[in-house]
C-alpha cells in the first residue's frame, strides 16, 4: 500500500495520519467542554507561586 | 552568506522582541492564570510542541530513519497517540488538577507532594539534574551538526559557539518560557517542515512513486546491515534480529513510552487554567507532531532515494557512516539555498525552545527539588540560597551538556535521547500514573518503584546492554568483558526490563505497606 512493501511500514504510515485525525475529531467533539472553574482558588495560588519562581530567572 | 546572516539577525530580533514583551508585559502562562485568562490554545499547543520537538527529533531521528527506514514511523504514531492524545486527554487533565491542589511547580515536587516524601522529590531532582544533560547534548549535537555541514564550520567550533549563544539567550531571559516566543518558534518549525515534505516528494517524483522507488532499492542495503536484520527501507527489520530489537525496544518504545514521564513536558499541563484549553490544544498538537516527526522520519527515509538519484549512493554512505549528518547534508546539498537558510532558522528555533526548557528544568531540579525542598529541606529556610543554587544548576547543566556533546561518539543523537526518555519512563512512570489514578499507592511503593526503576536501568546499561556497557567500560574493568549478557539481551533496551519491574514493585509494595493518610488522599482527589 502507498508504494510501501512491508505491512509493518505502511500500517505505521497509515496509523500516523489516522491518529492525527483522531486528535482533530476529539478536539472538535470536546470544543466547548471543560469550562468549569471549580479549582479557581488553587489555580491562582499556583500561578502566583509560579510567577515568583519565574522572577528568579 | 550576507542573506543568511541578515535572516538570522531578523529572526533573533523577533525572538528578542517577543522575549522583551513577555518580560515587560503579562505573557507567561502564570501571568495569564493570575489575570484569570487563558492563553490561546494554539499558543499552548505550540509551546508544548516546541518544547517536545527539537533538533534531536528532526536531525537525529530523521537521520536514524535514513538507516532504519519507514518502520520508525511507529515512533511518530506513539508520539501522537501517547505523547499527545493520551497525554492531553487523559493524564494532562488530572496532572493539572493534582499539580494545582498540591501547589507543585516541578515534576519531582509533584511526585514528592503526592507521596509526602522529600526523598522522592530530592532523588528525582538529582536524577533529572544529572541525566537531563544527556538529552540536552543530543539537541546541542543536532544543531552543531547542522551548523558544521551547512556553514562549513568545524564541529567543535560550531558546538562551542552555539553553546555560548545559548548561554547568552538564557541569561537574557530565555528560560522564562514566554509563550509567544515558543509559539513563534513552533510556527517557524511547522512551516519549514511542511515545505520540506512537499519539496522532497516533488524531488522524488510524487508520493507513491517515491515510496515505490525506495521499496525497489532494497537490494542496495549493505551486506553488514542485511546480516543484522535490515530488509529494506519500506520493510520492518527481520523479527528478533539485532536491528529489530534496537528499532523496537530503544528507538520506538524507549522514546514513545518515556515521553509520558518527561519532566519538562509534565509541568506544561500545570500551566493550563481549565480543561478546555487542553481539549482545544490537542488537535493542534496532534497535527503539529505529525508535521514534525512524521515528516522528519519520512524525509529521512526518502533521502536514500534522492541521494541515490543524485550521487548513486545511499544516505549512510553519503554521510560517511554518521547518521546525524544525513539531514544536514540533504538540506545543504539538495535543497535550494533560500530553503536551507530558512531551515537553519527552524533548527535554531527547535533547539532554542527545547534547550531553554531543559536548562530550566536542570536548574530548578537542583535548586528547588534537591536543595530547598528535598535533601536540604530540613535545614534550609524557604528561599534561602535557592536562587543561587538554581542558577548554579543552570550553569552546571550547560557545562555538562557541552562535555557530553564533546565526548559522545558520532551518530549518537537518537540513542542519547532514547537513554534519557527510557530512564525517565522506568524511574518515574509507575509513580506518576498510579499517583493520578490509584488511591492505594503508598509512599513505600513509590520510593521502591522509583529506586527500583532507576537501579535496574543503570545496572542494565552498565553491565548488559552492549552499546552503553561497552561505552561505560565498568563490566570490562570488573569482569574482563564488555557485557555480561549474550544476544538478544545485549540489544534489548534497559526500559524494556526496568519498566515492568518498576510497575511490579509499585503494586506489590503498595499492597503490603502503610497507606497514606485519608485526609491527604482526599485533598489529592478533591478535583480528580
**Could you write out the DSSP letters of every residue in B159-184?**
HHHHHHHHHHHHHTTGGG--HHHHHH
pLDDT band of B150, cuts 50, 70, 90: confident
Contact at CB, B274 and A16, closer than 8 angstroms: no
Q: What is the pLDDT of residue B31?
A: 73
Q: Which of A5, A10, A47 sits opposite B33 (nearest CB)?
A: A47
Let me know how many helices (H) and strands (E) chain A has, helices first.
2, 0
Decide if A24 and B287 are in contact by the 8 Å CB cutoff. Answer: yes
Contact A20 B287 (CB under 8 A): yes
Tens digit of pLDDT for each residue in B264-305? 899 888 888 888 889 999 999 999 999 999 999 999 999 999
**B226 CB contacts (<8 Å, ≥6 apart)?**
none
Q: Is A8 part of the contact surface with chain B (CB cutoff 8 Å)?
A: yes
**Quick one: three-class SS letters along B333-345?**
HHCCHHHHHHHHH
**Which among B257, B253, B254, B260 has a CA at the least distance from the CA of B95?**
B260
Residues of chain A found within 8 Å of residue B282, distances taken between Cβ atoms: 23, 26-27, 30
Looking at the predicted structure, is the pLDDT value of residue B110 above 60?
A: yes
Q: B444 with B509: CB under 8 angstroms?
A: yes
- B204-220 mean pLDDT: 96
**pLDDT the model gives residue A52:** 79
Contacts of B280 in chain A (CB under 8 A): 27, 30-31
- At residue B382, does pLDDT exceed 60? no
3-state secondary structure of B331: helix
- In angstroms, rounded to a whole number, what is the distance separating the alpha carbons of residues B283 and B81? 11
**B423 has a pLDDT exceeding 90:** yes
pLDDT at B372 over 90: no
CA dihedral (B268, B438, B520, B375) in degrees, to 10, reads: -60
Q: Would you call B40 an interface residue with chain A, using a CB distance cutoff of 8 Å? A: no
Instruction: Please tell me which of the candidates A13, A35, A50 has its beta carbon nearest to residue B276.
Output: A35
Find all residues with CB under 8 Å of B357, minimum gap 6, and list them.
B51, B177, B264
Is A16 in contact with B294 (Cβ distance < 8 A)? Answer: yes
B2-422: CATH class: mainly alpha
Model confidence at B178, in pLDDT bands (50, 70, 90)?
low
Q: Is B379 helix (H, G, I), strand (E, B) or coil?
A: coil
Whether the pLDDT of residue B173 is over 80: the answer is no
pLDDT higher at B371 or B257: B257
B14 pLDDT tier (thresholds 50, 70, 90): confident
pLDDT, residue B249, reads: 94
Residues 189-248 of B with CB under 8 A from A: 207-215, 218, 231-232, 234-236
Query: Residue B7 has what pLDDT?
Result: 77
* Whole-number Å distance between alpha carbons of B234 and B210: 11
- pLDDT value for B391: 86
Q: Mean pLDDT in each 10-residue stretch from start to end of chain A (57 residues)?
A: 92 97 95 79 84 74
Which grid coordinates are listed for B104?
Answer: 507543585
Q: What percent of chain B has pLDDT over 70?
A: 93
- Region B423-432: mean pLDDT is 97
Rounded distance between C-alpha atoms, residue B389 and residue B126, angstroms: 13
Are A34 and B279 inside 8 Å of each other by CB? yes
What integer pLDDT is reported at residue B36 of this predicted model?
Answer: 67
Average pLDDT over chain B reads 90
Average pLDDT over residues B401-429: 93
CB pairs under 8 A between A and B: 188
Query: Residue B380, class by beta-carbon neighbours within 10 Å (0-12 exposed, 13-18 middle, 19+ buried)?
Result: middle
Mean pLDDT of B414-440: 95
What is the value of ipTM here, to two decimals? 0.93
For residue B238, is pLDDT > 90?
yes
Q: Who has greater pLDDT, A56 or B132? A: B132
Question: Which range, of B129-133, B295-299, B348-352, averages the lowest pLDDT?
Answer: B348-352
- Compare all CA atoms of chain B with the CA of A31 and give the residue at the minimum distance: B280
Element (H, E) at B196: helix B179-204
Contact assessment for residue B154 and residue B143, using Cβ atoms and an 8 Å cutoff: no
CA-nearest residue of chain A to B79? Answer: A16
Q: Do residues B115 and B435 lie in contact, with contact meaning Cβ atoms separated by under 8 Å?
A: yes
Contacts of A16 in chain B (CB under 8 A): 73, 76-77, 80, 290, 294
The larger pLDDT score, comparing residue B231 to residue A49, is at B231
CA distance B344 to B327: 12
Question: What is the model's pLDDT at position B263?
Answer: 92
Confidence at B375, pLDDT banded by 50, 70, 90: low
Where in chain B are the domains?
Answer: 2-422
Determine contact: B51 vs chain A, CB below 8 A: no
pLDDT in tens, B35-90: 667 778 888 888 888 888 989 999 999 999 999 999 999 999 999 999 999 999 99
Question: Do the chains contact at A30 and B279, CB–CB below 8 Å?
Answer: yes
Of B282, B190, B253, give the one whose Cα is nearest residue A22. B282
List the single range of A16-30, B303-317, B354-368 with lowest mean pLDDT: B354-368
A10 CA: distance to closest CA in chain B (Å): 8
Task: Report the C-alpha dihedral over residues B432, B505, B364, B99, rounded to 10 degrees.
Answer: 20
How far, CA to CA in Å, does B386 sit from each of A3, B174, B374, B450? 57, 19, 12, 25
Question: Is 90 exceeded by the pLDDT of residue B324?
Answer: yes
Amino acid at each position: 500500500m502507498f508504494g510501501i512493501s512491508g505491512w509493518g511500514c505502511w500500517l505505521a504510515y497509515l496509523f500516523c495520519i489516522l491518529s492525527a485525525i483522531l486528535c482533530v475529531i476529539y478536539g472538535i467533539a470536546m470544543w466547548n467542554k471543560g469550562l468549569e472553574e471549580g479549582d479557581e482558588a488553587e489555580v491562582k495560588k499556583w500561578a502566583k507561586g509560579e510567577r515568583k519562581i519565574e522572577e528568579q530567572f | 552568506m550576507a542573506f543568511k546572516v541578515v535572516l538570522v539577525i531578523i529572526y533573533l530580533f523577533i525572538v528578542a522582541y517577543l522575549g522583551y514583551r513577555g518580560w515587560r508585559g503579562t505573557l507567561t502562562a502564570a501571568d495569564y492564570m493570575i489575570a484569570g485568562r487563558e492563553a490561546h490554545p494554539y499558543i499552548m499547543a505550540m509551546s508544548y510542541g516546541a518544547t517536545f520537538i527539537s533538533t534531536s527529533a528532526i536531525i537525529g531521528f530523521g537521520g536514524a530513519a535514513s538507516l532504519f527506514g519507514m518502520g520508525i514511523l511507529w515512533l511518530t504514531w506513539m508520539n501522537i497517540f501517547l505523547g499527545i492524545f493520551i497525554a492531553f486527554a487523559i493524564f494532562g487533565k488530572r496532572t493539572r488538577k493534582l499539580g494545582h491542589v498540591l501547589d507543585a511547580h516541578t515534576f519531582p515536587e509533584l511526585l514528592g507532594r503526592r507521596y509526602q516524601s522529600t526523598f522522592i522529590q530530592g532523588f528525582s531532582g538529582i536524577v533529572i539534574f544529572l541525566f537531563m544533560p544527556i538529552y540536552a547534548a543530543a539537541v546541542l549535537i543536532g544543531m552543531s551538526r547542522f551548523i558544521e555541514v551547512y556553514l562549513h564550520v568545524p564541529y567543535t567550533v560550531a558546538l562551542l559557539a552555539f553553546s555560548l549563544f545559548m548561554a547568552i539567550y538564557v541569561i537574557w531571559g530565555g528560560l522564562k518560557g514566554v509563550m509567544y516566543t515558543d509559539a513563534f518558534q513552533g510556527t517557524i518549525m511547522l512551516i519549514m517542515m511542511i515545505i520540506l515534505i512537499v519539496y522532497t516528494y516533488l524531488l522524488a517524483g510524487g508520493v507513491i512513486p517515491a515510496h515505490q522507488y525506495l521499496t525497489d532499492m532494497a537490494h542496495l542495503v549493505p551486506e553488514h546491515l542485511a546480516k543484522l536484520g535490515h530488509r529494506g527501507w519500506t520493510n520492518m527489520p527481520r523479527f528478533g534480529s539485532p536491528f529489530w530489537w534496537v528499532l523496537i525496544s530503544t528507538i520506538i518504545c524507549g522514546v514513545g513510552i518515556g515521553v509520558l514521564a518527561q519532566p519538562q513536558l509534565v509541568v506544561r499541563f500545570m500551566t493550563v487554567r481549565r480543561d478546555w484549553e487542553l481539549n482545544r490544544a490537542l488537535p493542534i498538537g496532534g497535527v503539529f507532531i505529525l508535521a514534525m516527526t512524521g515528516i522528519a522520519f519520512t524525509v529521512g527515509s526518502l533521502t536514500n532515494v534522492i541521494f541515490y538519484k543524485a550521487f548513486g549512493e545511499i544516505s549512510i554512505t553519503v554521510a560517511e557512516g554518521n547518521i546525524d549528518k544525513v539531514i544536514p547534508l540533504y538540506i545543504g546539498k539538495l535543497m535550494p539555498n533560500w530553503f536551507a537558510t530558512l531551515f537553519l532558522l527552524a533548527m535554531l528555533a527547535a533547539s532554542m525552545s527545547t534547550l531553554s526548557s531543559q536548562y530550566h528544568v536542570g536548574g530548578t531540579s537542583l535548586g528547588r527539588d534537591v536543595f530547598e525542598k528535598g535533601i536540604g529541606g530540613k535545614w534550609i529556610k524557604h528561599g534561602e540560597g535557592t536562587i543561587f543554587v538554581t542558577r548554579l544548576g543552570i550553569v552546571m547543566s550547560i557545562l555538562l551538556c557541552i562535555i557530553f556533546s564533546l565526548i559522545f561518539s558520532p551518530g549518537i543523537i537518537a540513542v542519547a535521547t532514547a537513554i534519557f526518555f527510557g530512564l525517565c519512563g522506568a524511574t518515574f512512570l509507575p509513580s506518576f500514573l498510579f499517583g493520578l489514578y490509584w488511591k492505594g499507592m503508598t509512599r513505600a511503593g513509590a520510593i521502591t518503584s522509583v529506586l527500583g526503576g532507576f537501579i535496574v536501568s543503570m545496572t542494565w546499561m552498565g553491565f548488559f546492554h552492549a552499546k552503553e556497557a561497552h561505552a561505560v567500560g565498568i563490566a570490562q574493568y570488573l569482569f574482563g568483558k564488555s557485557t555480561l549478557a549474550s544476544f538478544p539481551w545485549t540489544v534489548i533496551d534497559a526500559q524494556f526490563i526496568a519498566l515492568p519491574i518498576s510497575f511490579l514493585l509499585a503494586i506489590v509494595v503498595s499492597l503490603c505497606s502503610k497507606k497514606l493518610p485519608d485526609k491527604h488522599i482526599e485533598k489529592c482527589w478533591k478535583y480528580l
